[in-house]
Every structure is written in structure tokens, then in C-alpha cells.
Amino acid sequence: MQTFQPPRRVLMGPGPSDVSPRVLAALARPTIGHLDPAFQSLMEEIKGALQRLFNAPDHACVPLPAPGTAGMEAAMMNLLEPGDRAVVAINGVFGGRMADMAGRAGATVVTVEHEWGQPVDPARVEAALAEAPTKLLAFVHAETSTGVRSDAATLCGLARKHRALSVVDCVTSLGGIAVDAAAWGADVIYSGTQKCLSAPPGLSPIALSKAAQAAIAGRKEKVRNWLLDFNLLMAYWGGPEGSGGGGRTYHHTAPVNALYGLHESLVVLFEEGVQAATVRHARMHEALAAGIEAAGLKFLVEPKWRLPMLNTVIVPDGVDEAAVRAHVLKAWDLELGAGLGPLKGKVWRIGLMGESATPWHVRLCLTALCDALN
């Protein structure tokens, strides 16, 4: 074997995004023990920073030791028991994944399916909630497979009105558009590190409201997934922020260096300001959209629901979608994303996430795309 040297790439697909040199440097710092007092202080700081980032001062926040899918799995496995009713809105790949997981947790799953490219329709969700008592409503805030935002505040409000817990997937939205667990009244909200936080993939920050924690405490049977059992996890993470992290109980060995990386990505984000970062994402999207439209290309999603960090551009008739991506990778070292499911071969997905949302990235992408198309 030889040392692996990755090629130099610019990451403008659906994630991972470019990782900042500061985060890469943090990852390379010496590993210390996960029960070392210095590491425990880092864990406490991360819990508090996540509360700030999700705006979830009354939620318990931890980064799960696995990618964004782990946040989804933790939500479903902790909240649902066999026989519970779950309403899941599907408007792309990740809503579908939520429904699959809710079924695996033993719930009776009612899906509210939408055309890909459309936001979740609150009226149809409300009709599904009104049919029978429901334990949980799940939806994706920023559907990465289509580039669509849904109205999280309204959907969480509907869950509350019908006495259901809300589960919100913010894997792509956190750090790029406004995410506000407190204002929305979201019960479980989770993300991933590899999108607008610009850390490597592998961790899933999650926040649980008091109501979600009470539902878990009141379960009839144990959580069927051991690693993601929130009771065990919180004992390891030393209780909610402010509890001082005392009485920490061994559960698993935390991914020490990955947590250095997450910590540094949060330092970088707070230095810029979360609000300033969302403005930057919006501006970069506007610049990209101006160039895309000037090149005669069209977006899949209407402006109101477009995600700034995930731009879904329709492949013109007669153009080979994969050949364009292959060209920009080979000639420009630039990674763009392909369409998934019904959008396969029909769209490109252009990410402007975190460190990849800069004027330089916008210029490079437009230049490379026009080069490939001409």
C-alpha cells in the first residue's frame, strides 16, 4: 500500500463541500483520550454552540457519531414504537428515506407524496394529520435531491396543532438559510457536517425538545438501536448544556478528531456570524442564477422555494448530462452533482455550501459549465 493522495478538487455538488484549511488543521491536532478533562470541556462547548446554531436554547443538543442519516435514524428510532402513526411528507429522496425508517421502527406510516421540485404542501399534510391521532410528522426543510425549501414554521405549527411531534431534516439548510428550532417549535431537528458547516462528513448534530425527551422517557419498550439510543447518548454527553457534563458514563469512544473539526467549523461560522453566512449564501445564489440564466439555462424550482445552497439546473435538450459533469471534473477539477431518481439525467445539482459559496466558486462554475456546453 501507499499513502493516499486525493486529487485536488473544487466541491460544488450536493455535499461534501470544500473544507476550510482551518478545519483541516484542527483535524490533524493530536488525538487525546475521550475522557480527558480537556476533551470534556470541548464536548460542553460543542453542545452550547449547537444550541446557539439551531437556536434551540431549551433543546438537548449533541453531534451524533455518524453522518446526517444518523440524525434521521435517531429521530425515528427514539420517537417511534410499534403501532404509532407517523405522517411523512415526501418531495424527494430524503423524505422517502424518512418514511422507510419510520416503517422500520414499527410505525404505521402515512406518506404525503409530492411532485419532485415542489415544496411540501401544508394543506395536504394537515389533512393527513387530521385523519387519526399521530405521534410524529416528519419532513425535509431543504430537499437536496431537488433544491426545494419547505415552510418549516408552518409545518411544525401543524404538528403542534394536531399534538404530533415534529421531525425536521436540516442537513442541507443549517448554516446556509435560517434555521430556528425555537421559533418553529421543532421537536427534533438534525443536520450533517459536510454541507454548509464545511467540515468533513461523519457527524450529525441533533437537537431534541423537552417534549421529545419526555416522549422517549415514556417509551413502553427500549429504543431498538443501541448506538443512537438518546438516553444512553445523553448520559455519555453529560446531560444538557449547563449541567456541567458531570457523571459522564462511557457509551462509545467519541470520534475525537472529527469533533475537533466540527468545533473549528463552528468557530469559523460564528466569527463570520450565522446571519452574515445566510446573506452570503443568498448573494452567491443570486450571482450564480444571473450567470445560469444569461447562459440560457433554466432552474427546476420556482424562485420562492429555491435553495441558495443547492441549485437544480435543467439539462437542455440534446445535452449529455453526465458528459458535462465528466468534462468539468477532468478539465476544471470541479465536482457538480447529478440528478437522482426521476431527475436522473435531467438536472445538474450545483452546490454553494459553506466554504464553496464564494464569488470565486461562482465564477469557476459558470466558466467551466459554459466551456463544457460550447
Task: By CB under 6 A, name the binding residues for ligand PLP.
Answer: 14-15, 67-69, 72, 94, 140, 144, 169, 171-172, 192, 201
3-class SS of residue 276:
helix
Q: What is d(CA 305, CA 274) in angstroms, rounded to the nearest whole number? A: 21
**Nearest CB to ligand PLP, comparing residues 40 and 54:** 54
- The distance between the two most distant Cα atoms of the chain, rounded to a whole number of Å, is 63
Distance in angstroms (rounded) separating the CA atoms of residues 329 and 294: 23
Cβ neighbours, 10 Å, residue 37: 10
Of the pair 64, 372, the CB lying nearest ligand PLP is at: 64
Phi, psi at 336, each rounded to 5°: -115, 160
- Closer of 40 and 204 to ligand PLP (Cβ): 204
**Does residue 76 contact residue 102 with C-beta atoms inside 8 Å?**
yes
Q: Which is nearer to ligand PLP, 67 or 238 (CB)?
A: 67
| Least distance to ligand PLP, CB of residue 239, Å | 26
First to last CA, the chain: 41
Residue (20 or 173) nearer to ligand PLP, CB: 173
Beta bridge partners of 111: 88
In the complex, least distance from residue 307 CB atom to ligand PLP, rounded to whole angstroms: 10
Residue 349 is labelled as binding a ligand? yes
Minimum distance from CB of 309 to ligand PLP (Å)?
10
| Distance in Å, CB of 238 to ligand PLP, minimum | 25
366: three-class secondary structure by DSSP: helix
**Residues in binding site:** 349
**Residues in binding site for substrate:** 349
